[in-house]
Structure 1
Amino acid sequence: MAVAPVVKRKRGSPSESFHEGVTLSTKVQIPDDFSSRAAGWNLEQDYEQRPRKQRKKEKENTRLPIKTAEGRIEQFNDPLAGNEDEGSWPSSEDGGDPEQVPDSVKEEAKVPIRQQIIEAKEELARIASLINEDPEEHAGGFRTLGQIAASPNPTIKRLALATQLAVYKDAIPGYRIRPIAEQDQTEKVSKDVRRLRAFEQTLVSCYQGYIKDLAICAKPTKDQQSEAMASVTKVAISCACALLLAVPHFNFRGELLKILIAKLSSSKVDANFVKCREAVESLFRSDEDGTWSLDAISLVTRMMRARHYQVDESVLNTFLHLRLLTEFSSKASQNRVDKPAKDGFIGGKKSKFKKEFRTKKQRKMMKERKDVEKEFEEADAIVSHEQRDRMQSETLKLVFVTYFRILKDRIPNLMGAVLEGLVKYAHLINQDFFGDLLEALKDLILDAETLFDHEEEGQEQGEDMLSKSDRDATREALLCITTAFTLLEGQDAARSATALNLDLTFFTSHLYKSLYDLCLNPELELSSRSLRLPDPHSPPNTSTPITTPKVNLRTTAVLLLRALTAILTPRAVPPVRLAAFTKQLCTSSLQLPEKSTLAMLSLLNNVIKIHGRKLASLWNTEERKGDGDFDALRGDFESSNPFASTIWEGELLKLHFAPGVRQGAKGVEQLIDGIK
Structure 2
Amino acid sequence: MSTRPSKKRRLTPPQSGDEDASSRSEKKIQKQFFKNAASWDLEQDYETKARKGKKKEKESSRLPIRLPDGRLQQVAAPAGDLRSVESDEDWLEDDGGDVSDHEPQERALPEKPDIPEPQQILEAKEELAKLASALNENPEESVGNFKAIAKIGESRIPAIQKLTLATQLAVYKDVIPGYRIRPISEDGPGEKLSKEVRTLRAYERSLVSGYQAYVNNLAKYAKTGKQQEKSAKAARGQSISSIAITCACTLLTSVPHFNFRSDLIKILVGKLSTRRVDDDFNKCLQALETLFHEDEEGRPAMEAVSLLSKMMRAREYEVDESVVNLFLHLRLLSEFAGKASKDTVEHADGAGKKVSNKAAKREFRTKRKRKELKEHKALQKDLAQADAVVGHEERDRMQSETLKLVFATYFRILKLRQPHLMGAVLEGLAKYAHLINQDFFGDLLEALKDLIRHSDAAAEGGEAVEGAAAADDEEDGDAPVRNPSREALLCTVTAFALLAGQDAHNARSDLHLDLSFFTTHLYQTLLPLSLNPDLELGAKSLRLPDPNAPGTPHPSTATTTSAGNKVNLQTTTVLLIRCLTAALLPAWNARSVPPLRLASFTKQLMTASLQVPERSAQALLALLADVGGQHSRKVAALWDTEERRGDGAFNPLSASVEGANPFAATVWEGEILRRHYCPKVREGVRLVERSMLQK
- Asked whether the equivalents of residues 465 and 482 of structure 2 are also in contact (C-alpha less than 8 Å), the reply is no
Name 1:319's counterpart in structure 2. 327
Over 3 Å counting, the alpha-carbon distance change for 1:96 and 1:114 in structure 2 is farther
Q: Distance in 2 between matches of 1:572 and 1:469?
A: 40
Residue 155 in 1 paired to residue 155 in 2?
no
After superposition, give the CA deviation of every residue in 1:571-622 in whole Å (9 maximum; x if it has no partner).
2001000000001111111112222222112111211111111111111112
Q: Contact 1:142–1:206 at 8 Å: present in 2 too?
A: yes
Residue of structure 1 in register with 2:90 after alignment: none
Q: Within 5 A, what are the aligned runs for 1:25-40?
A: 33=21
Aligned to 2:426: 419
The structural deviation recorded for 1:94 is 8.9
| Alignment check: 8 A CA contact 2:423 2:568 kept | no
Deviation at 1:189, TM superposition (A): 2.1
Measure the CA separation in 2 of the matches of 1:121 and 1:355: 65
Task: Summarize the alignment of residues 152-551 of structure 1 with structure 2, pairs less than 5 Å apart.
Answer: 152-181=156-185, 187-221=191-225, 223-228=227-232, 231-342=239-350, 344=352, 380-455=387-462, 462=463, 470-540=481-551, 546-551=562-567
The structure-2 alpha-carbon separation of the partners of 1:185 and 1:200, relative to structure 1 and needing over 3 Å to count, comes to: farther
In the TM superposition, what is the alpha-carbon distance from 1:416 to its structure 2 partner? 2.1
TM-score, normalised by the number of residues in structure 2: 0.77
Mapped contact 1:417–1:550 kept (Cα < 8 A): no
Structure 1 position 554, deviation (Å): 1.7
Deviation at 1:465, TM superposition (A): 8.3
Decide whether the 8 Å contact of 2:479 with 2:563 is kept in 1: no
The corresponding residue for 1:552 is 568
Between the aligned partners of 2:693 and 2:376, the Cα distance in structure 1 is: 68
The within-5 A match list for 1:27-106 is 33=21, 97-101=103-107, 105-106=110-111
- The reply on whether 1:614 has 2:614 as its aligned counterpart is no
Task: Say if 1:561 and 1:600, in contact at 8 Å, map to a contact too.
Answer: yes
Contact 1:488 1:496 in 2 (8 A): no
Residues 154 and 228 of structure 1 are in contact (CA less than 8 Å); yes or no, is this contact kept in structure 2?
A: no
- Pick closer, same or farther for the CA change 1:432–1:597 going to 2, 3 Å: same
The 8 Å contact of residues 540 and 569 in structure 2, kept in 1 or not, is answered as no
Counterpart contact for 2:487–2:567, Cα < 8 Å: no
Closer, same or farther: CA 353–670 of 1 in aligned 2, 3 Å: farther
Question: Which residue among 97, 104, 109 is the counterpart of 2:113?
Answer: 109
Residues 403 and 605 (structure 1 numbering): CA distance in 2 closer, same or farther, change over 3 Å? same
How much has 1:557 moved relative to structure 2? 1.1
CA distance in 1, matches of 2:163, 2:620: 58
Which deviates more from structure 2 when the two are superposed, residues 573-582 or residues 588-597? 588-597
Q: For 1:311, what is the secondary structure of its paired residue? A: coil
Aligned residue type for 1:509: T
- In structure 2, the CA distance between the partners of 1:160 and 1:281, relative to structure 1 (3 Å rule), is same
Residue aligning to 1:26:
none
Q: Is the 8 A contact 1:472 1:547 kept in 2?
A: no
Distance apart, 1:647 and its partner CA: 1.5
Shift of 1:625: 1.6
- What is the CA-CA distance between 1:627 and the residue it aligns to? 2.2
Task: Tell me by how many angstroms 1:225 deviates.
Answer: 4.9
Aligned pairs, number: 586
In structure 2, C-alpha distance between the alignment counterparts of 1:173 and 1:445, rounded to whole Å: 53
Aligned residue type for 1:522: P
Q: Percent identity, please.
A: 53
* Contact 2:229/2:239 (8 A) holds in 1: no
1:164 is paired with a residue of what secondary structure? helix
Would you say the 8 A contact 1:496–1:502 is kept in 2?
no
What is the letter of the counterpart of residue 528 of structure 2? D
CA deviation map 1:25-57 (0-9, x unaligned): xxxxx99845999xxxxxxxxxxxxxxxxxxxx
- After TM superposition, give the deviation of residue 654 of structure 1 in Å: 2.0
Query: Aligned AA for 1:331?
Result: K
Q: Per-residue displacement from partner, 1:527-555 (whole Å, max 9, x unpaired)?
A: 23321211122135679994443233322
Partner of 1:22: none
* The one of 539, 547, 561 aligned to 2:577: 561
Give the CA deviation at 1:351. Answer: 12
Deviations 1:449-491 (A, max 9, x none): 1111123xxxxxx479899982000011001111111110011
* Compared CA separation, residues 239 and 96, structure 1 to 2 (3 A): same
The 1:527–1:265 alpha-carbon spacing in structure 2 relative to 1, beyond 3 Å, is same
Distance, in Å, in 2 between the alignment partners of 1:224 and 1:165 is: 22
The structure-2 alpha-carbon separation of the partners of 1:631 and 1:351, relative to structure 1 and needing over 3 Å to count, comes to farther
1:498 deviation in Å? Answer: 2.2
RMSD of aligned residue pairs (Cα, Å): 3.5
TM-score (norm 1): 0.80
Q: Residues 268 and 501 of structure 1: is their aligned pair in 2 closer, same or farther, counting only changes over 3 Å? A: same
Deviations 1:228-249 (A, max 9, x none): 4971111011111111111111
Q: Distance in 2 between matches of 1:421 and 1:355?
A: 42
Q: Structure 1 pair 33/662, CA: closer, same or farther in 2 (3 Å)?
A: farther
The alpha-carbon deviation at position 309 of structure 1 amounts to 1.5
| Structure 2 runs not aligned, ≥5 long | 1-9, 26-97, 468-477
Aligned match of 2:622: 602
Letter in 2 for 1:270: D
Distance 1:413 1:368 in 2: 54
In the alignment, the residues of structure 1 paired with residue 381 and residue 163 of structure 2 have an alpha-carbon distance, to the nearest angstrom, of 47
Kindly state the Cα deviation for residue 124 of structure 1 after the two structures are TM-superposed.
0.5
Cα distance, 1:653 vs structure 2 = 1.9
Residues 634-649 of structure 1 aligned to structure 2 (within 5 Å): 634-649=654-669
